[in-house]
Amino acid sequence: MKKHNFSAGPSILAPEVFEKASQALLDFEGTGLSVAEISHRSPAFLRVIQRAQALVLEIAGLDNSYEVLFLQGGASMQFLMVPYNLLETKAAYIDTGTWANKAQKEAALFGKAEVVASSKAEGYKFIPKGVTVSGDFDYLHITTNNTIYGTEFHTLPQTTVPLVADMSSDIFSRPLDYSQFGLIYAGSQKNLGASGSTVVIVKKDLLGKVSRKIPSMLDYQLHIKSESLYNTPSTFAIYVNLLVLEWLQAQGGLHAMEQHNRAKANLLYGEIDRNPLLVGYANKEDRSLMNVVFNLTDESTKERLDTLCKEANISGIQGHRSVGGYRASIYNALPLESVQVLVEVLKEFERTA
């Protein structure tokens, strides 16, 4: 029976992606070999990674002044790689959640990493407003969407220094002027594919300016020179990246995806705000389109709601331990039908109270 997968990640992929990926695991493009066993330097795989890199730039509307890398280590490795490559004197960080906080702490190992705004004291329920960063900062780092607390930047901060963004949980969920960013990184396992690869989009002229020596595996310039093949990449994960990017284009691109995601979010937030047994966690003006976080007004009713969700084949909806309650992750590939099922469960939860 169909599961409605609201997992925060690794998360849902489109059925078409699963089908093509499973076929390629058995026989990749008629080669008689699995995509998991072909050489990463073979012409067949080079076509995969180069096509995926080109699609990232095309979907983002960026030119060849940017480079696309497929790396390993997840977004957490980028907490380290960004300051290694960009932080010479000091950097600015906006602290809007657990992952933003971790990124700042990693950067502080390399130089001054100044928190210029934070919502930590208020439980990360909102995005700080009116932040302007200029002067002698090497870059400003933000986390565009916060999976744990369900907040999202709907307006970017004003800055005259390069803007760096962790977009792991909302990349390609909506149109943005991606040229406003000097560097973007995202773990694949939410909107871009399977776990195992990390996408980095970097403006090439930002690199080569720090005085420190950079270890080979952490050097963006070396990975660019090696075309993401300095070491053996996550070949199957990158192939899934390609399938997801092609699927995204086939859906109509970022404008169509935004309409799809807003329809899901509006439906679910509407029920949360209407239902007297539920309360949303994040401030309304900063709510995420990707992660809908809510709590119960009476925690003693949790077992009943959990039972209703299980009966409806709803999976992955439990909230993060730091917030409690529930979190419905409604990434690109989640169909509206799944949100409709969840909304009906929440209505039934109220009716049977």
Active-site pick, 20, 95, 99, 264: 99
Q: Which residues, listed in sequence order, are joined to residue 60 by a DSSP beta bridge?
A: none
CA nearest neighbour of 200 among 158, 168, 235? 168
What's the CA gap between 335 and 14, in Å, rounded? 9
Active site residue 166: yes
Residue 26's CB: how many other CB atoms inside 10 A? 11
Report helix, strand or coil for 119.
coil
Under DSSP, the state recorded for 157 is P
Which three-class secondary structure state does DSSP give residue 200?
strand
With CA atoms as reference, report the closest residue to 279 among 258, 295, 256.
Answer: 295
Q: Which residue has the tokens 């270890």?
A: 215
Asked if residue 39 lies in contact with residue 229, where contact means CB atoms within 8 angstroms, the answer is: no
Please identify which of the residues 166, 170, 219, 286 carries the catalytic annotation: 166
The pair phi, psi for residue 285, each rounded to 5°, is -70, -15
Which of 72, 77, 76 lies closest to 231, judged by CA? Answer: 72
State how far the Cα of 56 lies from the Cα of 20, in Å rounded to an integer: 19
Q: Which of 138, 190, 219, 264 is catalytic?
A: 190
Catalytic residues: 99, 166, 190
